[in-house]
Amino acid sequence: MVREGYQPPTAGAGPRGSTHTGHEVRTQMTYICGDCGSRVSLAKDAAVACNQCMGRVLYKERTKRMVQFEAR
């Protein structure tokens, strides 16, 4: 099954699957505001708050990858 799941980090992992080694890649992340629902882009060191309503609860976006399930 190609279900998305947690992959334990392996010692000396290459560029694949690791987000912490390369600081340059993806410094910007998009979140969803828990208060107003707008999309919030946060820069690397920005304060964790919505720039529309200052709401402090931000949700992670759903994966853009396809997820496979068995209909059982």
Partner 1 sequence: MAPSKKASWTNAPDAEELEKRNTVGIHKETVTHNTSVDFPGHVPGEDEAFSLDRFRDGFSVDFHQNDPFHASFSLMGIDASLSNAFRRILISEIPTLAVENVFIEINTSVVQDEVLAHRLGLIPFKGGKEGLHNFLKWHKKPEPGEDAYKNSYDWNTVSLELNVKCTLNEDADPREDDPRKAYHNAHVYARDIVFTPTGAQEQYFAGDDAIAPVHPDILIAKMRPGQQIGLTMHMHKGIGADHAKFSPVATASYRLMPIIKITRPILGADAEKFQKCFPDGVIALDKVSAKEAAQKGSGYESHVGETKAVVADPMRDTVSRECLRHPEFEGKVKLGRRRDHFIFSIESSGQWDSDELFMESVKHMKLKCKKLEQQVMDMVR
Site string for Zn ion, 18-47 (x = CB under 5 A): ---------------x-xx-----------
Q: Least distance in Å: CB of 51 to Zn ion?
A: 8
Question: Is residue 5 close enough to count as binding partner 1 by CB under 8 A?
Answer: no
SS3 of 8-55: CCCCCCCCCCCCCCCCCCCCCEEEEECCCCCEEEECCCCCCCCCCCCC
DSSP-assigned letter for residue 66: -
Q: Which of 6-14, 21-29, 46-54, 62-70 is the region at the interface with partner 1 (rule: CB under 8 A)?
A: 62-70
